[in-house]
């Protein structure tokens, strides 16, 4: 089976970070629509740093208002922005020395076209409406070409910080998208699911049967291919399970506790993982419980989500597993099993 399938995988998760005293002051000022720097070593560094990069000495708290206008010193054009870029149309990333500052900061310039960009051009910060500012660098939507190139009015004036900053943390998202190629066994597994069949692979060395799109024996560390495929029954025993109590976080759609189970199929040596048990509450799930597969009706099966990491994911082809009512097996039988 030489056919390959590409599928994009998107990993997104939020995290919060503390800002420290200097960036807390900077971000709290941003939320008020003010950009600041710090005067240290005879110059103004903006955005402010905690330590003077030349001497390593503490930069102190001699805050200075800078901008909102500044001068571009160098730039690079971004013709095709991704979902992670600050603007959804072509723009420039530029080093901008704000009025009142001696160092450059990097930000986006929304100039319309590459030909409108030049070193030495005057630009001006365009803030979000004040009510939407949260104290992040993207409170400044972008810099735009300044309609009036004259110096910023308050630039270089002292900035009096409050005793306590409003903003001491920021939320950020890690967002990573990459393309994966489905392995040949992933393709075989997905095709079998569409037919309403489960397949495993029998290792020629240790004679164990593994389930799902693994393509290898995890005991012998040898590759398994099409020649090792065998059909396995849609019946087995719950070998372990986890009850997940959902906490609200971005992307979590579950609100009630749910279980994800590993099932050791009859005749197999490795489990099919991450399965859902139907018809019973999470408190009734037991290790040793006999279950059987419930397929989605033919024509309603979908395996688009199946990838190399899925370890037996059923996509939308397997609805779940229902208890058969047979007497449980002793739970001890399922200790020290291979995954
Ligand atoms: Zn083996």
Check pLDDT > 60 for residue 175: yes
Check pLDDT > 80 for residue 156: yes
Q: Residue 223 C-alpha to ligand 1 middle, in angstroms?
A: 9
Model confidence band, residue 187 (pLDDT cutoffs 50, 70, 90): confident
Check pLDDT > 90 for residue 7: no
pTM of the model: 0.62
Can you state the percent helix, strand and coil of the chain, rounding each to 5? 10, 40, 50
Check pLDDT > 60 for residue 2: no
Residues 6+ apart with CB under 8 A from 287: 238, 239, 240, 241, 331, 334
Q: Residue 310 C-alpha to ligand 1 middle, in angstroms?
A: 20
Least Cα distance to 230 among 265, 273, 182, 276 occurs for: 265
- Measured CA to CA, the distance from residue 325 to residue 83 in angstroms comes to 50
- The single-letter DSSP state of residue 122 is E
Share of the chain above pLDDT 70, in %: 98
Angle (CA) 282 285 291, round 5°: 125
Q: Give the pair of three-digit tokens for residue 287.
A: 């290790």
Q: Residue 217 C-alpha to ligand 1 middle, in angstroms?
A: 5
The confidence score (pLDDT) of residue 173 equals 80
The confidence score (pLDDT) of residue 218 equals 87
Task: Please give the residue that has the higher pLDDT: either 331 or 336.
Answer: 331
The confidence score (pLDDT) of residue 312 equals 63
Residue pLDDT, tens place only, 260-293: 999 999 999 989 988 999 999 999 999 999 999 9
Q: Residue 206 C-alpha to ligand 1 middle, in angstroms?
A: 4
Least Cα distance to 319 among 269, 278, 281 occurs for: 278
Contact between residue 238 and residue 333 where contact means Cβ atoms under 8 Å apart: no
Q: Residue 161 C-alpha to ligand 1 middle, in angstroms?
A: 67
Q: Residue 277 C-alpha to ligand 1 middle, in angstroms?
A: 29
Q: How far is CA 49 from CA 17, 120, 124, 138, in A?
A: 17, 25, 22, 18
Contact between residue 232 and residue 265 where contact means Cβ atoms under 8 Å apart: yes
Q: Residue 201 C-alpha to ligand 1 middle, in angstroms?
A: 10
Q: Residue 198 C-alpha to ligand 1 middle, in angstroms?
A: 19
Q: Residue 230 C-alpha to ligand 1 middle, in angstroms?
A: 15
Q: How far is CA 330 from CA 43, 86, 189, 289, in A?
A: 75, 57, 30, 9
Q: Residue 199 C-alpha to ligand 1 middle, in angstroms?
A: 16
The confidence score (pLDDT) of residue 214 equals 82
Q: Residue 180 C-alpha to ligand 1 middle, in angstroms?
A: 26
Q: Residue 271 C-alpha to ligand 1 middle, in angstroms?
A: 15
180, containing H or E segment: strand 169-181
Q: Residue 287 C-alpha to ligand 1 middle, in angstroms?
A: 25
28, containing H or E segment: helix 20-30
- Measured CA to CA, the distance from residue 36 to residue 135 in angstroms comes to 12
Q: Give the sign of the dihedral formed by CA 51, CA 53, CA 54, CA 55.
A: positive
Q: Residue 306 C-alpha to ligand 1 middle, in angstroms?
A: 24
Q: Residue 189 C-alpha to ligand 1 middle, in angstroms?
A: 19
Check pLDDT > 60 for residue 1: no
Q: Residue 212 C-alpha to ligand 1 middle, in angstroms?
A: 15
Share of the chain above pLDDT 90, in %: 73
Residue pLDDT, tens place only, 71-109: 999 999 999 998 889 999 999 999 999 999 999 999 999
Q: Residue 291 C-alpha to ligand 1 middle, in angstroms?
A: 26
What's the whole-number mean pLDDT along residues 9-18? 85
Task: Please give the residue that has the higher pLDDT: either 131 or 175.
Answer: 131
Contact between residue 105 and residue 47 where contact means Cβ atoms under 8 Å apart: yes
What's the whole-number mean pLDDT along residues 18-33? 96
Q: Residue 300 C-alpha to ligand 1 middle, in angstroms?
A: 35
- Measured CA to CA, the distance from residue 304 to residue 317 in angstroms comes to 10
Q: Residue 218 C-alpha to ligand 1 middle, in angstroms?
A: 7
- Measured CA to CA, the distance from residue 167 to residue 66 in angstroms comes to 20
Q: Give the sign of the dihedral formed by CA 116, CA 117, CA 123, CA 129.
A: positive
For the chain, the residue count is 339
Residue pLDDT, tens place only, 43-75: 999 999 999 999 999 999 999 999 999 999 999
Q: Residue 202 C-alpha to ligand 1 middle, in angstroms?
A: 8
Check pLDDT > 70 for residue 255: yes
């Amino acid at each position: 089976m030489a056919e390959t399938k590409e599928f994009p995988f998107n990993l997104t998760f939020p995290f919060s970070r503390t800002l420290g005293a200097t960036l807390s002051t900077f971000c709290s000022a941003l939320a008020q629509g003010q950009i600041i720097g710090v005067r240290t070593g005879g110059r103004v560094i903006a955005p402010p740093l905690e330590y003077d990069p030349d001497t390593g000495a503490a930069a102190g708290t001699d805050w200075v208002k800078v901008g909102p206008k500044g001068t571009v010193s160098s730039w690079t054009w971004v013709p095709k922005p991704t979902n992670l870029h600050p603007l959804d149309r072509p723009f420039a990333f530029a080093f901008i020395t704000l009025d009142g500052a001696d160092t450059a900061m990097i930000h986006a310039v929304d100039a319309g076209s590459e030909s409108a960009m030049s070193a030495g051009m005057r630009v001006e910060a365009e803030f979000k409406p004040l009510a939407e500012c949260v104290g992040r660098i993207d409170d400044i939507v972008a810099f735009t070409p300044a309609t009036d190139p004259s110096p910023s009015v308050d630039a270089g004036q002292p900035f009096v910080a409050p005793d306590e900053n409003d903003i001491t943390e920021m939320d950020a998202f890690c967002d990573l998208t990459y393309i994966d190629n489905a392995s040949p066994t992933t393709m075989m597994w997905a095709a079998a699911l569409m037919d309403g069949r489960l397949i495993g692979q029998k290792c020629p060395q240790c004679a164990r049967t593994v389930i799902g799109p693994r393509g290898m024996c995890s005991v012998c560390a040898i590759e398994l291919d099409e020649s090792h495929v065998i059909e396995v029954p849609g019946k087995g025993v719950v070998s372990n399970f986890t009850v997940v109590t959902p906490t609200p976080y971005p992307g979590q759609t579950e609100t009630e506790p749910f279980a994800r189970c590993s099932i050791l199929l009859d005749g197999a040596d490795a489990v099919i993982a991450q399965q859902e048990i139907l018809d019973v509450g999470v408190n009734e799930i037991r290790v040793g419980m006999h279950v059987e597969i419930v397929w989605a009706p033919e024509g309603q099966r979908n395996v688009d989500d199946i990838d190399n990491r899925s370890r037996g994911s059923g996509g939308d082809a397997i609805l779940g597993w229902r208890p058969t009512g047979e007497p449980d097996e002793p739970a001890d039988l399922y200790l020290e099993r291979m995954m």
